Homo-oligomer: A and B are copies of this chain.
Amino acid sequence: MSPVSLLLSDKAKARFDAFSDGVFAIVITLLVLELHIPTGREHLASELGSEWPRYLGYFVSFAFIGGVWIAHSTISHFIKAVDATLMRLNLVLLLFVSLLPFTTGTMAAHLFTSVLPLDHLTEPQPAFGPERLAVVLFGVNLTLAALMTYLVIRHVDKTDELAATDRVEEELRGFKRGRGTAVVLQALATVVGVFVPLAAVVVYLGLSVFFFVDPLWIERVRRRVGSHKT
């Protein structure tokens, strides 16, 4: 038993789960701190109305983190132990997840700029405006978190000692393909953000909600198309 095997353990798995659940729970709850409480007294309705980019960002990140958490507990369901690589990949995933309140807040603060009063438009805008940069930054964060989710699943899939049973292999593979597609779609949406920032955020929301509501819808579409072909 070499020192490297230290972390290959079913006991370490309980802590792997607990720590990950903790970070997911905290990040999803910290998002609420980015919703600023309006303090003006007379125009609460309009104040709340003008804050809609924050609510949009809140729902994107909540749905996205919810979806990643579902993926994470599904992976956890497949495995009986964790190894040193899985722990490190997971910590990098948690790094990108825990950055989301920051990039969500930055996106929300600058999505305002496209819905400002018209008189603001008389000033010349910079070539690559803050709105675009903020939306792309948010998209890159979502893409990297999706990518790490995929890499975590791929590592579990290719490491025999981790799988709980042989039977789950095919299921795991379908799940892995689904998360791989999520990475590609999220990356494409981020590219859209370079040209049409607001549209990109709506696509982010759509993707996050889709993968939240039904993590396997892409897999099902693929199968249906495949069965039509045969």
Q: Which of A66-74, A179-187, A198-206 lies on the face that meets chain B?
A: A66-74
| Known contacts A37-B105, A113-B41, A174 near B3 by CB under 8 Å | yes
**Contact residue among B102, B113, B167 (Cβ-Cβ distance under 8 Å from A32):** B102
Structural contact, A212 and B37, CB atoms closer than 8 A:
no
| Known contacts A66-B91, A98-B31, A134-B44, A171 near B6 by CB under 8 Å | yes
Chain B residues contacting A196 (CB-CB under 8 Å) are none
A contacts with B: majority SS = helix
Copies in the complex: 4
Structural contact, B66 and A3, CB atoms closer than 8 A:
no
**Contact residue among B6, B37, B212 (Cβ-Cβ distance under 8 Å from A91):** B212
User: Chain A 1-36 against B: per-residue CB contact (8 Å), 1 yes, 0 no?
Assistant: 101101101011011111101111111111111110
* Interface residue? A87 (CB, 8 A): yes
| Known contacts A26-B26, A29-B27, A41-B130, A216 near B3 by CB under 8 Å | yes
Structural contact, A18 and B21, CB atoms closer than 8 A:
yes
Chain B residues contacting A133 (CB-CB under 8 Å) are 44-45, 48
Complex CA distance for A45 and B137, rounded to whole angstroms: 11
Complex CA distance for A94 and B27, rounded to whole angstroms: 13
Of all chain B residues, the one with the shortest Cβ separation from A67 is B91
Structural contact, A26 and B24, CB atoms closer than 8 A:
no
* Interface residue? A143 (CB, 8 A): no
* Interface residue? A151 (CB, 8 A): no
Of all chain B residues, the one with the shortest Cβ separation from A7 is B74
Structural contact, A216 and B106, CB atoms closer than 8 A:
no
| Known contacts A87-B70, A102-B32, A19 near B25 by CB under 8 Å | yes
Chain B residues contacting A30 (CB-CB under 8 Å) are 26, 29, 32-33
- Beyond the given pairs A23-B25, A34-B37, A88-B213, 9 more chain A to chain B contacts, judged by CB atoms under 8 angstroms and listed by A's residue number, are A6-B171, A6-B216, A7-B73, A19-B73, A21-B22, A22-B25, A30-B33, A42-B126, A62-B98
- Pairs A-B, 6 closest by C-beta atoms: A22-B25, A44-B130, A37-B105, A15-B73, A26-B29, A18-B21
